[in-house]
Structure 1
Amino acid sequence: MRLTFKKYGWLQGRDLCEFVLENDHGMSVKLLNYGATLEDVAVPVDGAKRHVILSLKQAEDYSKERNFLGGTVGRIAGRVWRGQWKNGDHILQLPINDGENHIHGGFGTDQQVWSFRPERGEDFVSVHFSLLDPDGHNGFPGNLQLEATYTLNNSGELLYDLTAYSDKLTIFNPTNHTYFCLDGLGTEINQTRLFLDADYYLPVKEDGLPVGGMESVEGTAFDFRKGKSMGEALKSGDAQIALREGLDHPFILNGQKTAAKVVASDGKVSMKMSTNAPAIVIYTANSFGKGEKLVKDLPQYGGLTLEAQNAPAPSNDLREITLEPGKTWRRHVSWKFDY
């Protein structure tokens, strides 16, 4: 096991650093303390390195504009209806930054420079990132202390553990926003196969917020329970997929050990995901390859997210993501790669 890091810049009064984690079987992971970001995952295939998540060309590019590639997005991932949290008779107003709604926490945790502590054990290497998001930042109450830890082991497993603690009642629903592309960087996901242990999904409106309650995946393009290619869903003609130009939908997990499995079209790389989150939001890079400066060279449908989180709410009732003061919030995600 090997862990190295280098400084590549200076921002927000802190060093910007890139970390390289390597196991004994040729798998390597790159991390940034900018946004506690998963920058790159590479595995050996046929004597060469295959990069299996969407990445920018260099670490310096990540802070140039918000891109969500591998970042720890918070305090809120996804949209909040009208930017409102109704708590009893009080309504907290968050910044409106997505049409009439709030999205991705405003100036989010993925745009901030985190402190770090590397750790090396006999059969693992880790980096612990920490951040204090102050009371009132982006309109959120409470001093929120965050720690995000990435751990690589010799079993090809990359662990992501996020903990949070607030000194005031607040709302919190973060996620890791990695895009998986198991056929390699620059490919499309049409032939990538997805297995998803979810009987229900949430249909959405034009603005991306849920219409209301859950709908069964049975007989729809959203049924991945037995596994199918992403292209089968993307080219299905389903009205929901047409509305968002691809998948951009929450799935309610059944709670089994393996929540999802992604398999490359050639079968040479697969990834099993497990999590304690109640839902996964799948987004298929629908807007990539268009006008965005940094992701314009990444193809539309060039990757898919598996965002472990609580499903977004259709109203200002956010009781499912309320964090009480003095209680520790925990999220665990495992990405197990076979190659």
Structure 2
Amino acid sequence: MKTSFKKYGRKDSQDLCEISLENDHGMQVNILNYGATLEKVLLNQENMILTLNSPEDYSKERNFLGGTVGRICGRVRLGKWRHGRQIQQLPQNDGKNHIHGGLGSDTKIWNFKLKNSDREAQADFFLFDADGTNGYPGNMKLHATYKLDNNNNLSYTLTAVSDQLTVFNPANHTYFNLGEKAADLELQLAADYYLPVGEDGLPNQGMKNVKNTPFDFRKKKKISLALNSDDDQIKLRNGLDHPFILNGMQPAAMLTSKKHQMIMTTNAPAIVMYTANHFNHTGGVANNIGQYDGITLEAQCPPAEGIDLGEITLLPYEKFERKINWNFK
């Protein structure tokens, strides 16, 4: 096992670094301290995820690729959080709604330290998010950990604690492609229900059974079968852009390409799936990425229909812990 890092730039009087974890079987993982971002997952030098052209590009334009997105990853209706008789207003940066934490944790530079043993290579990232940042109450400390072992398991754990009542629903926003396009991959998902959404991308109908819909991935099938369907929900979002409620069976998700497989387990109650619908080989830094090139499997709580965000409310000093394991073959 091997750990290393190199400095590639400076921003806001802080060093920008690319961290590398390597196992003994040809797997290498690159992580940026900018956004605690999963930049590359290499199996014998073949990349399993979508990656920008250079580490420097990640801080030039926000694309969420691989980032630790918070405090909330996803949308909040009208940017409002009602708790008791109070209503907290978050930035309305997605039309009338709030999305991806405002200028969230994926745009911050995290401190880090490395740890190495015979069994695993580990990188720990730390961020202090002050009270009032992006309109969120509470001084919050975040701790993200990436671990790589010799069985090609890459684990991701995010813990956090706030000193005030707050809301918190982060996610790792990696786009997987297993060396191909997401549209060509096969997906199996342990989800019997999904959440239909409105034009604003927020749920508006409660849960719907996946049976007899393009959203049924309980048995392995090609993602393109859903993308090419004439389902109104697929057309509305130009692809998959929906929360799936996990049924507790593990693995939660399994992606398969012609050469590789990724098996995912998590303690999250839902996975928000997004098939890179908006990418089109344009833009300043993401010009190497096109529509349906990758797919996110964002392990988080599903977005709420209203502004009562009880599921993602943290009490003062209550510990948040999200666990994900990706196994690559």
Shift of the alpha carbon at 1:110?
0.1
**Out of 229, 251, 265, which is 1:236 matched to?**
229
Count matched residues.
Answer: 329
Aligned to 1:302: 293
Aligned to 2:269: 278
Deviations 1:69-120 (A, max 9, x none): 0000000000000000001111100000001100000010000000001000
Q: In structure 2, how many angstroms separate the alpha carbons of the residues matched to 1:214 and 1:108?
A: 28
Q: In structure 2, how many angstroms separate the alpha carbons of the residues matched to 1:212 and 1:100?
A: 19
Percent identity over the alignment is: 56
User: What SS does the corresponding residue of 1:225 show, helix, strand or coil?
Assistant: coil
Q: In structure 1, how many angstroms separate the alpha carbons of the residues matched to 2:200 and 2:66?
A: 23
Report the TM-score when normalising by structure 1: 0.96
Instruction: State the AA in 2 paired with 1:25.
Output: H
User: What SS does the corresponding residue of 1:151 show, helix, strand or coil?
Assistant: strand
Query: CA contact under 8 A between 1:217 and 1:223: conserved in structure 2?
Result: yes
Q: In structure 2, how many angstroms separate the alpha carbons of the residues matched to 1:65 and 1:191?
A: 28
Shift of the alpha carbon at 1:32?
0.4
**Out of 141, 146, 149, which is 1:150 matched to?**
146
Shift of the alpha carbon at 1:257?
2.2
Shift of the alpha carbon at 1:290?
5.4
Q: In structure 2, how many angstroms separate the alpha carbons of the residues matched to 1:107 and 1:189?
A: 28
Q: How does 1:8-23 map to 2 (within 5 A)?
A: 8-23=8-23
Deviations 1:231-278 (A, max 9, x none): 0010011110000000000000011220000001x1x20000000000
Aligned to 2:91: 95
Aligned to 1:56: 52
1:331 aligns with 2:322: yes
**Out of 115, 120, 136, which is 1:119 matched to?**
115
Unaligned runs of 5+ in 1: none
Shift of the alpha carbon at 1:215?
0.3
Aligned to 1:226: 219
Unaligned runs of 5+ in 2: none
Q: In structure 1, how many angstroms separate the alpha carbons of the residues matched to 2:304 and 2:283?
A: 28
**Out of 158, 161, 164, which is 1:165 matched to?**
161
Aligned to 1:29: 29
Query: CA contact under 8 A between 1:281 and 1:305: conserved in structure 2?
Result: yes
1:322 aligns with 2:313: yes
Aligned to 2:70: 74
Report the TM-score when normalising by structure 2: 0.99
Runs of 4+ in 1 over 3 A off after TM superposition: none
Q: In structure 1, how many angstroms separate the alpha carbons of the residues matched to 2:156 and 2:150?
A: 15
Coordinate RMSD, CA, aligned: 0.9
User: What SS does the corresponding residue of 1:252 show, helix, strand or coil?
Assistant: strand
